[in-house]
Amino acid sequence: MAYDLTGQMVAEKFKLIGLVKSGPEGDLYRAENTLIEKPVTLLVLPADTDAKARERFRKNAKAASAAEHPNLLNVLDFGIDASGVSYAVCDAANPETLAQAIARGGKLPAENAVEIGKQIAAALETLHAAGRVHGNLTADNVLLSEVAESAAIAKVAGIGTEGPLERTGDVLEAAPSELAYLAPELCSGTDSPDALSDIYSAGVIIYEMLAGTVPFSGEKPTDVLLKHIEEPPPPLSAFRSDLPPTLEPVILKALSKSPEMRQQSGAELMGELAAAFGGAPDAAAAGEPVKKNNFWATAAMVLIGTAALGGALIYATWSKKTDPATVLQPDANGMPVQPINPATGTEEQQLAVMPAYSIDGNSNMALTAPDTLPGGDGYNPWATGVPPPGAPSYVPPGGEMYNIDPRTGSPFMPPDGGVILVPVPVNSNTQPAASPSPGRNANVNANARPAATPPANSAPSNAAPATRPTPAASPRTTPAPARTPTPARNSGTAGDQPGS
């Protein structure tokens, strides 16, 4: 807020000693309860604030009192004094913000930073279990309260306060330093804070304690937002070399761009921090002498382990050995191997009557008895002379057959070795006469067209004489002078000869 109320009394019993931090939703003071002379921390909202701010102050104080934990800034009392100042009494003693501690001393010792990080994670676990979300976790909202010599307890404050984008409503109006703890999914201003965005903010705080600076900064608000979304954080090894190698992966996991890749709860983050820093510390950084490995001790352990493993394998193999004479006993009720098809004895009979053969030593062919088909048991389905079932029917060839004596020559060729020219009929208007079938009577049809034209002085005949079939050619009708048709070779009735 704009007012510094240091030295004033609140509710006639709390004296404000010093301002710890100022915020848009209340100022935090170190104070003293004058009635019991005990230091307290007072969160004060001036009287001239509007009613909306006072109502939000009351709701935040009530929410903070709902979840109690040693690492949360617990609200013990709440009220409004006679002058209209709203106040909330908290349990921190002589606190300072973590941001102030880093600004004063720079990087924190690794052990202290990890311890504070575990306390922040424990506070978030309790807060999230109660169904609450911080939404504005920054180093300025973490209080360090001294309770003993060189010991500090972290107190997470500012629960439920508005973040920079919620408060301003515009990215360009927010200060770049206020955006340093914003999760990538909140940079657009459309998503609401949740438990995983609180984990990201806790990762930024732990990184800042170890490196002395936040991982992402810039001169303009948009520069910071783009780095949150696109760029990986600089490695911690660029700032210090005394960290165990298992610590940085835990912090980088909390700073993952994707919420699903981060620790899913404060308890998970706290456990990983404890496991990462609870291992063997860096001896060189701690100032302790580095122990050298004993070669002979290592060799002896390897030898003993190898011998033990070999003995175990030998024992297991020997104990499971079987004796065929005692274990593999024949089955008294067993049957010998039976063939798939019943035996016919044909194969054995063929072997008994097989004549003696002279076996050529260079021949690789198998000997088969005469008239016996190879393979199987020698069964011949054609031996009965009747086609077996499924065999095609035999169709004898048709037509006349000519037996040609190779010594006398072919009757279809001239004796002088010439070529017989067979005229091919050209008939475009009539159908050619069908050739008579061999062995049938060529009966004359009175309506059939004559195969050849008779001379002009010849008397017409009532029937057309059949032409002699010529092999390999059909008879042909020509407009040349008519010639006497050749009588058909037929044992039946012959047609009348024209011109006789």
Alpha-carbon span 254 to 198, nearest angstrom: 10
Give pLDDT, residue 227: 93
Give pLDDT, residue 180: 93
CB count in 10 Å sphere of residue 398: 9
Domain 95-281 -> CATH class: mainly alpha
Give pLDDT, residue 354: 67
Give the pTM. Answer: 0.55
Considering the domain 9-90, what is its CATH architecture?
2-Layer Sandwich (3.30)
Residue 133 to residues 63, 91, 120, 331, 376, Cα–Cα distance (Å): 10, 21, 13, 77, 88
Alpha-carbon span 97 to 440, nearest angstrom: 131
* Residues 198, 135 contacting (CB under 8 angstroms): yes
Q: Which residues pair with 145 in a beta bridge?
A: 95, 153
Measured CA angle at 75 (ends 71, 81), to 5 deg: 155
Among 145, 214, 144, smallest CA distance to 175 is for 214
pLDDT tens across the length of the chain (500 residues): 556 788 889 988 999 999 998 887 788 999 999 998 888 889 998 878 888 888 888 888 887 777 788 899 888 888 888 888 899 998 877 788 999 999 998 999 999 999 999 999 999 999 999 888 998 999 999 999 865 445 678 999 888 788 887 777 777 778 888 899 999 998 877 788 999 999 999 999 999 999 999 999 998 888 999 999 999 999 998 999 999 999 999 999 999 999 999 999 999 999 999 999 874 333 333 333 334 445 667 777 888 888 888 888 787 777 666 555 555 566 777 777 766 766 677 777 777 666 655 555 444 444 555 555 555 556 677 777 777 777 777 677 777 777 777 777 666 676 666 666 666 666 555 555 555 544 444 444 444 444 444 444 444 444 444 445 444 444 444 444 445 444 444 444 434 444 43
Among 110, 186, 360, smallest CA distance to 194 is for 186
User: So where are the chain's domains?
Assistant: 9-90, 95-281
Give pLDDT, residue 324: 55
Give pLDDT, residue 296: 66
Alpha-carbon span 137 to 195, nearest angstrom: 11
Give pLDDT, residue 431: 55
Write the single-letter amino acid at 419. V
Give pLDDT, residue 51: 84
Give pLDDT, residue 283: 36
Tokens (6 digits) for 86: 């709203």
